[in-house]
Structures are given as C-alpha cells and as structure tokens.
Structure 1
Amino acid sequence: MSQVVIVGSINADLAVDVERHPLPGETLHGSDVVYSPGGKGANQAVAAASLGANVTMVGAVGNDANAEVALERLAASAVDRSRIRRTDAPTGLAIVVVDERGENTIIVAPGANALMDAAMVEEAADVVREADVVVMQAEIPVSGIERAAELVAGRLVFNLAPVTEVPREVLRRADPLVVNEHEGRLALRMLTGRDAADSTDEAIVDGLVAAGCRSVVMTLGSRGSIVHDGSGGAAAIPSAKVDVVDSTGAGDAFVGALVKGLAEGATLVDAARYASRVGAFACTRKGAQTSYPTTADPLPELPA
C-alpha cells in the first residue's frame, strides 16, 4: 500500500456555537462548548486514514491534557503516531466559533506546532524520504516546511493554509498546490509580484501553472473546485449539495480525500471529484475530525 506522510500541525479545538458572529467590541452568549481534536495536519491525516490510506503523522504536541484530546482521533483512525514529538510547550489550541448557518471563524495558538522547525523535521527525514505522497500545510514554521519539501522524493501536496510567505520553490515543487480563492491570489503574488485581486478564479489557476506550479487545485466552497493538472486547461469540479451543519474542517477533509485518491493512482481530476464528495459530507456533521466519513459511510453524489 502507498505510504502517505503528513508533516503539519496538531491541535485541540475549542468550539463554541453562537447565533451570529460578534462585532468588534461586542460580547455574545455562546452555547455547546466542545473540546475536540484538530489542527490542519492532523485533520488531513485523520481524513485520509479514515478513508483507508496508510498514513504517518509527523508533528508535535505538549505534555498537557489537551494532547490527549488532540491525539484521540489519530489513534482511532490508525494513523502511525511514532513520529509525533512530545514537548514542554503546550499543545496547539484552536478556538472555533460557529454561527447558526454553519459558518466559522478560527483563532489558532500554535503552541508545540511552533517547534516544528527544520531541525525537528530532520528527525523524521527517513519517513519523509520514503513516502509516496508527502502532505504539508502552513501551520508550522517556514524552516520546517522548506526542509520537508527538500526531503521529498515522492509527490508533494502543499496546502498553503493559512497563507504564509514560503520560498517560491516550495510552491513550484507542489503537485498539486492546494489553495482557496484568497490563498490562490496571494500565492500568485508571491510567485510573480503582481496584484491579481481582480482576476477570475480560472485566471488565477492558469497563472499559477504558468508561474511554475506543477499542478493546482483551487477550492471554492459550495461552488466546488478548479483543477489544473499542469497540461491542457483547467477543469471545473462541482460540489455535492448538502444541508450544511458546520463547515469546520471541510477543507481539510477535501485535502485528505484528495491525497488518498492520488496515493491510489487516481488522476488529479478524479481525486478532486472524490474529494468534493468527502468535503461536502464533512459539512453535514459538527466538528472537524468528528465529521469525517469512513469507508462505510455513503457519500453525497456530485451533480451531473
């Protein structure tokens, strides 16, 4: 079975439901306070492993109570946790506020994730080199991202979220670079220096490929995604229509499913179509990792 290694963040999530998001300086009552596992790296690892991928997680947590929360789903989904470091720093914490429409805002305190620099990534150099697919996000230090990209011998999937200034060669090495609309425009500015704020989504994707990215997937939420495999033109992938309960972690579910498809030899377009169904499914349940489907769950169909 192909080996997937995910180098990234591991958090505990503190989620609070509100009727609407507060305005600056405003205090609102919330309800249903829930602690759950999160972090973009761990989310993507759980999503891929829950769908049957063979996944190793490279990351860091603290020795506090939140570490057990953060690791719970990684263990339950059979992710290899032997390369997760325990540190004296607190486990990363994300504070998630979800309104009655399922839209969320998130504040992240990185904690132990901030220690995932080049030196700590180097400790896992053997598993990164041996992986068929390596997945990264931007919730660890840039030096860790850069070193992991240098170590990759297989396929690198880089999710530029949140947007962080990284070396241009990391963006060009990605196959694919995964971004949303906002991230894609900033990535193009990083690569070319030009302001692309008024460009269409399709033009951004084409521009990223023209600027040297091997392939690109731009996620568009309920509008689906745009995929460019580096040859030919961009393809539009629709989103499955579902009743949204909570969109937290849906983008990470998409990436995990995309990686699972790629690891099994699917084309980028076919992997993105599968990922679109998984991402939509994740919106029908509350939480991030707690909302991800397993191989036993029926996925919503894409529109014809």
Structure 2
Amino acid sequence: MKDIIVGMGEALWDVLPEGKKIGGAPANFAYHISQFGLSSCVVSAVGDDLLGNEIIANFTSKGLNSLIEKVPYPTGTVQVEIDQAGVPQYEIKENVAWDNIPYTEQLEDIAKKTKAVCFGSLAQRNVVSRETINRFLDVMPKDNDPLIVFDINLRQGFYNKEILCNSMKRCNILKINDEELVLISRMFGYPGIDLQDKCWILLGKYNLKMLILTCGINGSYVFTPGNVSFLPTPQVEVADTVGAGDSFTAAFIASIIKGKSIMEAHSCAVQTSAFVCTKKGAMPILPPQIIE
C-alpha cells in the first residue's frame, strides 16, 4: 500500500439501546474513505479479549485495512444514550486499550506512506497515544503535500488548551462543529464575535488550508483563505447522528484527494452525512449514487 489515508485513535464499541455497534471516529473515517475506493487504514489498539477480537473480525469482514495492536488494557466501550432528537450522549470508559496505542516499526512504515491522516483530541487524553500520534505526524512525508486533518472531538472534558493548540499547529485542515467552536472561543479568549469571524481567526492564526465547520441542521461551511462555501443541511428522517460527522470528513477528504473542487467535495460530504443520519450506527453501506 502507498498513498494511504489513515484514521488514527479510538476503536471501540458504541453500546446503544438496541445493542453494540463498532465505533470510534478514526474507524468511522477510515471505513467511509475505503467506500470511496481509496486505500485506508485504521490505527488503534484493543485488549486481548472477546470485544477486541470482535473489533478485528468486524474490520476484516468490512474489508477495512487496520493496524490494531493488542495491549494489556480492556477494549474501549462507550455507553450511548440517544435523546428524542436522535442526538447521542456519550459515557466514555477510561484507561482502555486505545489510550495506549504503541509506536511500532510497522506503524512508522505506514506513516512514511501516508497521504492523509485524520486524528482527534479524544485519543490524546492519555500520554501514550498522544505521543504515538505526534511521532506519526513527525514521520509523514512532507514532499507530497499531505493532508493532516484535526477533527476536534470534545468529549467529557477529555481535552485541554495545550493539546488543542499543539494539534491545530500540526494540522492543515481543521474540522469543528458549532458547539465545539463556542467552547474553543471561550478557552482562547474571543467569545464575543460571530461564528464565521471565529473561523477566519482560526484559519489565519494556524495558517490552515481549510477549516470545516458543521452546524447540524443549520448547514455547514468550508473556509479557505479568502473564500467560504456554505451548504444547507438536507432534511431527512433521522435514525441517529452517530458517525455522521466522521462520514462528512471522509467524503470531503476523499473528494479532495480525487481532485474535486472545494464546492464539489463539500456537496459530497453533505450528501454522505445526511444519508448516514438515516441509518442506525456509524458505518452503513453508502449507496452507489453517493460513491459515484
């Protein structure tokens, strides 16, 4: 494999009211990237237990390439409660396998072939996985203009200003939602301006290629230096919104890698995430009209 697109961080089970489903933002991202016909790989860790074996088997059954190390910690789980609007609430278990992703020679080999990577803040809550992510970014080739996507994923207070600042300095594409943007703005000291101005500030301060802002039912934006794309959110019958943001990121990055314009990539991302919202769980099979 070469020109790999990597989703790096948590791989876990979302324990939903109707049962458990495979989850974790990096796994969702890598899975949807693979549906667009690109070489993807999810990097994470599981425990040497039944739940970990089931995750590996699940990825294999989906044809998803993975580098999943087994470590002496339990496989991660998240208790998910869905409110009346279909919005998930999460209880994320701590000190689990994906907190302890090791840096290995095999992982370094993947890093040297990586064209795009997506990582978040949640997988950096523990120093082991945080250092592994940063070492991976250090080794990625700099001569093929890689896409380094930081998909902020603020959950249960598992973040701090230092981690967020470092990650935004290291990425060239920032993905954030409106609620996260409000929290970041308070933390960084500019709460009194509108959402778009906050995005322009972040785009310039961190010298980003792109900033993607999703606002749920209120649409989404893609900011690039000097330009902004806005698209409304399609009205669909929502089953749940688990993994919708990850599918948006995957569709957008896949489109950009395939040479599509910002507007075309944005449109594909909106259609993909809207479809995912109509299905239970984070990894439904996308219909041919979206893939095409």
TM-score, normalized by the shorter chain, greater than 0.5: yes
State the distance in 2 between where 1:250 and 1:91 align: 23
**What secondary structure does 1:57 align onto?**
strand
Pairwise CA distance, 1:122: 6.7
Could you tell me which of 141, 144, 148 is aligned with 2:136? 148
Q: Which residue of 2 aligns with 1:217?
A: 212
In structure 2, distance between residues paired with 1:185 and 1:233: 22
Offset, 1:85:
0.3
> Structure 1's 261 and 167: CA in aligned 2 closer, same or farther, altered over 3 A?
same
Task: Provide the C-alpha distance between the structure 2 equivalents of 1:145 and 1:138, rounded to a whole number of angstroms.
Answer: 10
Alignment correspondent of 2:171 = 174
Instruction: Confirm or deny that 1:162 pairs with 2:154.
Output: yes
Query: d(CA) in 1 for partners of 2:104 and 2:260?
Result: 28
CA distance in 2, matches of 1:204, 1:122: 40
**Aligned in 2, Cα 1:269/1:158: closer, same or farther, shift over 3 Å?**
farther
* Structure 2 unaligned residues grouped into runs of 5+: 125-129
Match of 2:234 in 1: 240
Question: CA distance change for structure 1 residues 106 and 176 in 2, over 3 Å: closer, same or farther?
Answer: same
What's the CA shift for 1:56? Answer: 1.3
For residues 127-155 of structure 1, what are the alpha-carbon distances to aligned partners after superposition, in whole Å with 9 as ceiling and x for unaligned?
A: 11211111112232332333333233322
TM-score, normalised by the number of residues in structure 1: 0.82
Q: How does 1:98-117 map to 2 (within 5 A)?
A: 98-110=82-94, 111-116=96-101
Q: Distance in 2 between matches of 1:140 and 1:15?
A: 21
Q: CA offsets per residue over residues 154-205 of structure 1, 9 Å max, x none? A: 2211101126231634313323100111222444566xx3132x42221121
Task: Give % identity.
Answer: 23
Report SS of the residue matched to 1:4: strand
Where 2:30 maps in the other structure, the secondary structure is helix
Matched, 1:275 2:269: yes
Q: Secondary structure at the match of 2:153?
A: coil
- Structure 1 gap ranges (5+): 17-31
Distance (Å, rounded) in 2 between the aligned partners of 1:266 and 1:52: 15
Task: Give CA-to-partner distance per residue, 1:75-116, whole Å, 9 cap, x none.
Answer: 2332212x2101121111011111343122111114101102
Query: What residue number does 2:221 align with?
Result: 226
CA contact (8 A) 1:50 1:295 kept: no
For 1:178 and 1:114, locate their aligned partners in 2 and report how far apart those are by CA, in whole Å: 22
**Mapped contact 1:2–1:264 kept (Cα < 8 A):** no
Matched AA of 1:222: I
Partner AA of 1:37 in structure 2: I
Contact 2:148–2:170 under 8 Å retained in 1? yes
Partner of 2:286: 294
CA 1:75–1:227: 2 relative to 1, 3 Å: same
How far apart are 1:295 and its partner, in Å?
5.0
Say which SS state the counterpart of residue 236 (structure 2) adopts. Answer: coil
Tell me whether 1:128 sits opposite 2:122 in the alignment: no
> What SS does the aligned partner of 2:122 have?
coil
Residue matched to 2:42: 57
SS in 2 for 1:140: helix
Q: Give the 3 Å change call, closer, same or farther, for CA 284–72 of structure 1 in structure 2.
A: farther
Q: CA deviation at 1:123?
A: 5.2
CA distance in structure 1 between the aligned counterparts of 2:171 and 2:269, rounded to whole angstroms: 18
How far apart in 1 are the matches of 2:6 and 2:122?
A: 16
Report the Cα offset of residue 74 of structure 1.
2.3
User: How many equivalent pairs are there?
Assistant: 274
Answering whether residue 120 of structure 2 is matched by residue 137 of structure 1, we say: yes
The answer to whether the 8 A contact 2:56-2:68 is kept is no
Deviates further, 210-219 or 157-166: 157-166
* Equivalent residues of 1:4, 1:263 under 8 A apart: no
Question: In structure 2, what is the equivalent of residue 14 of structure 1?
Answer: 15
Question: In the superposition, relative to structure 1, how do residues 123 and 184 fare at CA in structure 2: closer, same or farther (>3 Å)?
Answer: farther
Determine if contact 1:205/1:226 at 8 Å carries over to the other structure.
no
Instruction: Render the CA deviation track for 1:233-286: whole Å, top value 9, x for unaligned.
Output: 322122222111111111111122122212222233422221111110011011
Q: Counterpart amino acid of 1:168?
A: C
